Amino acid sequence: MPQPHPPERSAQVPKIGFVSLGCPKATVDSERILTQLRAEGYVMASDYAQADLVIVNTCGFIDAAVEESLEAIGEALSENGRVVVTGCLGAREELIRGAHPRVLAVTGPQALDAVMDAVHAQLPAPHDPFLSLVPPQGIKLTPRHYAYLKISEGCNHRCSFCIIPSLRGDLRSRPIGEVLSEAERLVESGVREILLIAQDLSAYGLDLRYRPDFWKGRPLRTDLATLARSLGELTAWIRLHYVYPYPQVDALIPLMAEGLVLPYLDMPLQHGSELVLRAMRRPAAAERVLERLASWRAQCPELVLRSTFIVGFPGETESEFEELLDFIRAAELDRVGCFAYSPVAGAAANDLPDPVPEPVKAERLARFMALQAQISRAKLTRRVGQRLTVLVDEVGEDQVVARSYGEAPEIDGVVIIPGAWELDPGDFIEVEVTGSDDHDLWGRPVED
Question: Which pLDDT score, from 0 to 100, does residue 326 have?
Answer: 97
User: Measured between alpha carbons, how far is 196 from 229 in angstroms, rounded to an integer?
Assistant: 13
Q: Do the Cβ atoms of 159 and 113 come closer than 8 Å?
A: no
How many CA within 13 A on the CB side of residue 293? 23
Torsion angles phi and psi, residue 79, rounded to 5: -85, -25
User: Measured between alpha carbons, how far is 294 from 287 in angstroms, rounded to an integer?
Assistant: 11
Question: Which pLDDT score, from 0 to 100, does residue 64 have?
Answer: 85
Question: Which pLDDT score, from 0 to 100, does residue 433 have?
Answer: 97
Across the beta sheet with 237-240, the strand order is 146-150, 193-197, 237-240, 264-266, 304-311, 335-340
Residue type, 169: G
- Residue 351 CA, chain-centre distance (Å), reads 28
Question: Which pLDDT score, from 0 to 100, does residue 236 have?
Answer: 96
Query: Strand 172-173 to strand 43-44: parallel, antiparallel, or no bridges (unpaired)?
Result: unpaired
| Burial class of residue 408 in the structure, from the number of CB atoms within 10 Å of its CB (0-12 exposed, 13-18 middle, 19+ buried) | buried
| Burial class of residue 298 in the structure, from the number of CB atoms within 10 Å of its CB (0-12 exposed, 13-18 middle, 19+ buried) | exposed
Any idea what DSSP says for residue 36?
Answer: H
Query: Strand 172-173 to strand 237-240: parallel, antiparallel, or no bridges (unpaired)?
Result: unpaired
Torsion angles phi and psi, residue 281, rounded to 5: 60, 45
Q: Do the Cβ atoms of 152 and 179 come closer than 8 Å?
A: no
Question: Which pLDDT score, from 0 to 100, does residue 137 have?
Answer: 61
Whole-structure pTM value:
0.78
Rounded (10°) CA dihedral 71, 75, 76, 77 = 100
Residue-by-residue pLDDT tens, the chain, 448 positions: 344 444 444 447 899 999 999 888 888 889 889 988 988 889 999 899 999 999 999 988 778 889 999 999 999 999 999 999 999 999 889 999 999 999 999 998 888 889 999 999 899 887 554 444 455 566 667 788 999 999 998 899 899 998 888 888 899 999 999 999 999 999 998 999 999 999 999 999 999 999 999 988 889 999 999 999 999 999 999 999 989 878 889 999 999 999 999 999 999 999 999 999 999 998 777 888 999 999 999 999 999 999 999 999 999 999 999 999 999 999 999 999 999 999 888 899 999 999 999 999 999 999 999 999 999 999 999 999 999 999 999 999 999 999 999 999 988 999 999 998 999 999 999 999 999 999 999 999 998 7
Question: Which pLDDT score, from 0 to 100, does residue 7 have?
Answer: 47
Question: Which pLDDT score, from 0 to 100, does residue 135 have?
Answer: 59
**CB neighbour burial string for 107-128, b if at least 16 within 10 angstroms, e if fewer:** bbbbbeebbbebbeeebebeee
DSSP codes, 300-354: -TT-EEEEEEEES-TT--HHHHHHHHHHHHHH--SEEEEEE----TT-GGGG-SS
